[in-house]
Structure 1
Amino acid sequence: MLELTRITAGYDPRDPVVREASLSIAAGESVGLLGPSGCGKSTLARVAALLHRPYAGTVVLDGEPVRGWRHAAPRARRTAVGVVFQQPRLAADPRLTLREIIAQPLRATGRRAQVPDRVAELAPAVGLTAELLGRRPHEVSDGQLQRACLARALVLRPRWLICDEMTAMLDASTHPPRGAVVESYRRESGAGLLAVGHDRVLLERWCDRTVGWRECFGPGAPQEAVGPTG
């Protein structure tokens, strides 16, 4: 179980982006978090991924309270969560090839010997050719780079997968194949999924259940985030 309870978080303690938000995901369950841009979905996703320490509230991962964040979290905790960020160009080192981007987590955790097999397995699954794997981020499209970031998120076989607007950088025709990669991984591994987005149809297609931002954030929902989604 991944449980977030009464999370308050943001980038300025005087004006939190998220106030008292609660959300739970069972092992093997896929949950969509639906809401407009600016409502705090991405911040909550970063808390769930152990990448952002909240000001208040608790996170329980696999039955144990989380007390360390980012590099302060034990390696077993960090590697239990795979993340696909909303903006791949901010999440990828521009000096690395797509092959090296996919392999980063393996190299960082001392599993270099697994690099050839895992890259060879994941690249075709996400739609990357051998020729594309040798290119750097500035030599590929946003969608191609996002495919590499998806493969990177899966390379350590995480128990939990967090996708923040994963399809924002993909052409509409590629949504089903990318969603199929995630769904196939979930079926094989039993991983839980938190999919953050503003497209209700897409989230409901992917997920076992979809939670609206007001339902999740409750009375702490930011009142200004009431414009059109996008």
Structure 2
Amino acid sequence: MTSLAAHDVTVSYSRQRVLDRVSLHIGSGETVGLRGPSGGGKSTLVRVLALVQGADAGHVSIDGTWVAGARHRVPAALRTRIGVLFQSPREATDPRLRLDDIISEPLRATGHPDAAVRERVTELADLVGLTADLLIRRPHAVSDGQLQRACLARALAHRPSYLLCDEATAMLDASTQAHVAGVLTDYQRETGAGILVVSHDHALLTRWADRVVDLQTQERRHAATAA
């Protein structure tokens, strides 16, 4: 099956279980909404799906391939197929880096030559609406919206097959929200990427997602089955 999927994923912090046998799949070309209460494990599930955090039990698969481990224990060919856009661009970026360096981070990490990196950064900056004068600024010198556009460009750097958006538009003004959503929709239309949209905004999920998964309802269903 062509999908990014979590299979019976369980994660605990100390003695608190935040995910209990959660399963979720995002098919190619599909937009899936994810909702649930604050502190209910949505961001943890995103990190597990993004292969930056391991699960205590269960596993993740990409297009039917079982993925073992997390971060650099996962082959670059697999982990670069997933892009992530987080809620707070300031927490997700190094304040010492210029915006063009933020965008190029994933490309340099996988050994792309300088000329190819510069070409791709220019292409991505144009895609997300960042001008050359903004690219040489550091995070403190740009707005949240401009910084989130750089994070979006970074997420798209490797042309991922799946994009995970964790409350990615919650801190943005309406015009920037619309721009980010438009870039993601166009990218999906052109590439067939699968997208996960995490949000508390029911209207947004209804408007954007092909289907919506309620994390709390799923966990209650598992608990009832176990009982």
Report the TM-score, using the length of structure 2 for normalisation. Answer: 0.91
Count of residue correspondences? 220
Q: In 2, Cα distance between the equivalents of 1:10 and 1:148?
A: 32
CA RMSD of aligned residues (A): 1.5
Q: In 1, Cα distance between the equivalents of 2:130 and 2:187?
A: 17
Q: In 1, Cα distance between the equivalents of 2:88 and 2:219?
A: 24
Q: Which runs of 5+ in 1 are unaligned?
A: 222-230
Residue in 2 that maps onto 1:11:
13
Query: Is 2:40–2:216's contact at 8 Å kept on the other side of the alignment?
Result: no
What displacement does 1:28 show?
1.6
Q: 1:28-177 residue pairs with structure 2 within 5 A?
A: 28-111=29-112, 112-177=114-179
Query: Is 1:2–1:24's contact at 8 Å kept on the other side of the alignment?
Result: yes
Q: Which runs of 5+ in 2 are unaligned?
A: none
Q: In 1, Cα distance between the equivalents of 2:220 and 2:148?
A: 32
Q: In 2, Cα distance between the equivalents of 1:219 and 1:55?
A: 20
Query: Which of 121-130 and 180-189 deviates more?
Result: 121-130
What displacement does 1:127 show?
2.3
Q: In 2, Cα distance between the equivalents of 1:70 and 1:98?
A: 23
After superposition, the C-alpha distances for 1:100-151 in whole angstroms (9 at most, x for unaligned) are: 1001111111113322222222213222121111110111122211111011
Q: Which amino acid aligns with 2:47?
A: R
Query: Is 2:46–2:166's contact at 8 Å kept on the other side of the alignment?
Result: yes
Query: Is 1:22–1:217's contact at 8 Å kept on the other side of the alignment?
Result: no
Query: Which of 196-205 and 44-53 deviates more?
Result: 196-205
Q: Which amino acid aligns with 2:165?
A: C
Does 2:203 match 1:205?
Answer: no
Residue 16 of structure 2 aligns to a residue whose secondary structure is coil
Residue 87 of structure 1 aligns to a residue whose secondary structure is coil
After superposition, the C-alpha distances for 1:4-59 in whole angstroms (9 at most, x for unaligned) are: 121111432x2121111111111121101012321110001111111110111121
What displacement does 1:217 show?
2.9
Residue in 2 that maps onto 1:191:
193
Query: Is 1:23–1:216's contact at 8 Å kept on the other side of the alignment?
Result: no
Query: Is 2:87–2:166's contact at 8 Å kept on the other side of the alignment?
Result: yes
Residue 91 of structure 1 aligns to a residue whose secondary structure is coil
Q: In 2, Cα distance between the equivalents of 1:128 and 1:220?
A: 45
After superposition, the C-alpha distances for 1:133-178 in whole angstroms (9 at most, x for unaligned) are: 1110111122211111011000110111111011022112221211
Q: In 2, Cα distance between the equivalents of 1:66 and 1:15?
A: 25
After superposition, the C-alpha distances for 1:191-230 in whole angstroms (9 at most, x for unaligned) are: 1111111111112222211112223333468xxxxxxxxx
What displacement does 1:60 show?
1.3
Query: Is 1:10–1:43's contact at 8 Å kept on the other side of the alignment?
Result: no
Report the TM-score, using the length of structure 1 for normalisation. Answer: 0.90
Query: Is 2:37–2:216's contact at 8 Å kept on the other side of the alignment?
Result: no
Q: In 2, Cα distance between the equivalents of 1:199 and 1:59?
A: 27
Q: In 1, Cα distance between the equivalents of 2:218 and 2:90?
A: 29
Residue in 2 that maps onto 1:26:
27
Q: Which amino acid aligns with 1:9?
A: V
Residue 22 of structure 1 aligns to a residue whose secondary structure is strand
Query: Which of 91-100 and 196-205 deviates more?
Result: 196-205
Q: In 2, Cα distance between the equivalents of 1:120 and 1:142?
A: 20
